Structures are given as C-alpha cells and as structure tokens.
Amino acid sequence: MDWQLSDDVQPASRVPAARLVDALPFGDVGRAHPVPVTGAWRPGDDPGDRRFARIGDISVEAGGTVTDAVLAFETWGRLNEARDNAVLIAHALTGDSHVRGDAGPGHVTAGWWGDVVGPGLAIDTDRLFVVAPNMLGGCQGSTGPASFAADGVEWGSRFPRVTIRDQVEAQRRLADRLRIDRWRAVIGGSMGGMHALEWAIAHPERVGSAALLASNAATSADQIAQNSLQIEAVTTDPGWLGGDFYDLPGHAGPARGLALARRMAMLGYRSQHELNERFRREWQSSVDPLAGGRFQVESYLDVHGNRFTRRFDAGSYVRLVDAMSTHDVGRGRGGVEAALERVTSPTLVVGISSDRLFPVADQQRLAAGLPTSVSGAEPVVLESGFGHDGFLIETGRVGDLLAPLLD
C-alpha cells in the first residue's frame, strides 16, 4: 500500500496532473499502482503501533454471532494508579485506531488527529491515557468481513450486520480487558460521535464526560438515502460477488464500486463553498472538458476515490455504512428524547456551520435533549468552510473546545 496523508484531514486542493495516474481506468492503474482486492490490514502485515484484544463471541442485534472477536487498538500516555485518567476516542466511518503517529509500516496514513492528541495538546497524553480502538466490522485489525473466520476463510458475506450498539458493546469489553471501569471522557466525531453518545446512554456510570462532534441522535431519511446509494455502488460492482470476493486478483475485486462510493461520500464531507471556491470551473489540463478534457473537481474526486481502495475494504464499507443507517438511540428506549434523558455526564455538542452531511439541526436536537449539555439547549457551532470534515481539519479550534472538558 502507498503511504499517504489521510484524505479526510486535508483541505480540498487541485490535483497536479502528474498524480492523475490514480484517476485512470483501473486496468491502467493496475500496471503502475496495483489495486489490492482489499485495503484491509491482514494477519502477517506489520502491526505498527496496534495492540490486539480478544473480546469473545458477540451476539449482534440483527441476529448472528461474531465468534472470537478481536479489537485492534492503540494507546498513548500511561494509565495512572487510580485508573481514572483514561479517554476513549472513537473514530469516524473510514478512520482507524491511528489517531497519532507517522505513516509507515503498518499504518497507511498518518494519525488523523495528531494536532489534538499528544503531549501538551488538548487531549494531553502527559496526564491522560488515550485509547483508540478500530471499530468492530472495520478493516484495520479488528474483526470484520476481511478477517479470517474459524475455518480459515474470510468472513465475507457471512459477517453479520452490526449496529452502533454492537460496536459499543465490543468497546465495553475492551474497557473491561484493560480494567478501565470509568472513562474520564468518551470523544467521537461523525460515526464516532454516535459511539460516544451510545456510551453515555447505555453506560452512564462509566462515562465521566462526553464530546459529540458533527454527529446525531438518529440517522435521518436524507442520510440513509445517501448511504444507500454508496452501498449500492459497491454491491452492484461485478467484482462484489455477494461479498465473497477475497480470492479474486486485485483488479477483479469491487474496487470500482468502492471508489465510486468514496467519491459520493466526499461530496457530503466537504462543503459546497469549499469545492466551488477551490475548483470553480477550472480545467485539469489545457484540454477543454467539452473536447474530452476534465474539470479539476472531477480529478480531485477520482484520485481520492481510487486511493481509498488501497486503504479500505469493500466488505467493511458496506457493513459500517449500514451501521450508520440503523443508528437510532431511541430504538427500544421510548424515542430519542427519552434516551437522551438518560445521559448523566457533562456533554459537549459541536456542530460545523457548513456541514451538509450532519447539519447543525442534528446537533441542535442533541443539545436540546441532553440534560447535561455544557452549552445549554444550543450546540457549540464551529464556523468553518470545510464542511463535515471540519472536525478533522480545524484541529486548533476543536482542541480549544475539548480542553475544558478534560480539565
């Protein structure tokens, strides 16, 4: 796999023509940059900074069991003698446990929050013990579709549907394995914010405080619609094979569908303003798009989509996007507002002004329903032109918001 900066934490920018080999048809890319059948971390790959915890069999909400489940995780800092300085960080849909650190063997991308987590930073590892697991169903060391089942064959289509609640149950078991009875804070953005909220509702006695960044209480129809298109982009790829594609050569897998899903998703992650301002209607080269050339914004999406196939797994993508669609903290709890009333820990709710994926109305519902919202009935709104990914890009300002929660 190529080492690279995470797509999510970089502002959108023009893609130099010299890099457009990644945007060529996959047959051509295969000769220059082989496309793997999966971008998952696999046993035998360099573990990098990962640690692994066996958490037993997990019976999931939708039916079925993930047997002998494993969570990959990374840690920073030291757990104190009282074991009360631990912070859990939950990553977003396509993130992983590598919150801090360089790209290198075992880690395709550099840490996605390295300016927020570390010595002397907002989440200060000189005094806090930070734990970041790769979520259940993921593809960077935790058990997911690309993992080998007990019969020595990838789970593939046999991997059951999982929910946010199932993933938090896996994280709870990790906390038990680490002998952490109560988190000083649980922090997450986007899908990670769903995990943080579920922790605060399902296990209020184990959460000292929570931070929910650019997240929601229940996935809306608009969000489900976008998710369904991304899932279909993957599952209609001829290389999908019902999810059992792992024996195929790389170029024959569902890379086209996964890249298309990523390109769709990028439009939700970045704001209309950012794309319009950075790319306008500029051409990628001297060739007019009307005469067969390309617009810069098309090349930008193609490069990021095709690069994504080298660091992610199509099976995980389908399962995790589905988990986001089924997210509803009110399910079986008397509705969203009744569920939010269960939260007892001080909770920071942050929205991004230009977020078109999880608009500020989602955070307004959270803040209004949480009896312990630190900003009252309204969320803290971060004015940013970067859209949903603002919580990953505006690290200085996000850190300023998080620091008081951890004092």
Catalytic residue among 142, 384, 388, 389: 388
Active site residue 388: yes
Active site residue 98: no
SS (H, E, C) the chain: CCCECCHHHCCCCCCCHHHHHHHCCHHHHHHHCCCCCCCCCCECECCCCCEEEEEEEEECCCCCEEEEEEEEEEEECCCCCCCCCEEEEECCCCCCCCCCCCCECCECECCCCCCCEECCCCEECCCCEEEEECCCCCCCCCCCCCCECCCCCECHHHCCCCCHHHHHHHHHHHHHHCCCCCECEEEEECHHHHHHHHHHHHCHHHECCEEEECCCCECCHHHHHHHHHHHHHHHCCCCCHHHCCCCCCHHHCCHHHHHHHHHHHHHHHCCHHHHHHHHCCCECCCCCHHHCCCEHHHHHHHHHHHHHCCCCCHHHHHHHHHHHHCCECCCCCCCHHHHHCCCCCCEEEEEECCCCCCCHHHHHHHHHHCCCECCCCCCEEECCCCHHHHHHHCHHHHHHHHHHHHC
Q: Let me know: does 370 contact 343? Beta carbons within 8 Å.
A: yes
Active site residue 190: yes
Q: Let me know: does 317 contact 209? Beta carbons within 8 Å.
A: no
Catalytic residue among 97, 190, 271, 354: 190
Nearest-CA neighbor of 135 among 312, 4, 255, 358?
Answer: 312
Catalytic residue among 355, 362, 384, 389: 355
Amino acid at 138: G
What is the Cα gyration radius of the chain? 20
Q: Let me know: does 203 contact 329? Beta carbons within 8 Å.
A: no
As annotated, the active-site residues are 190, 355, 388
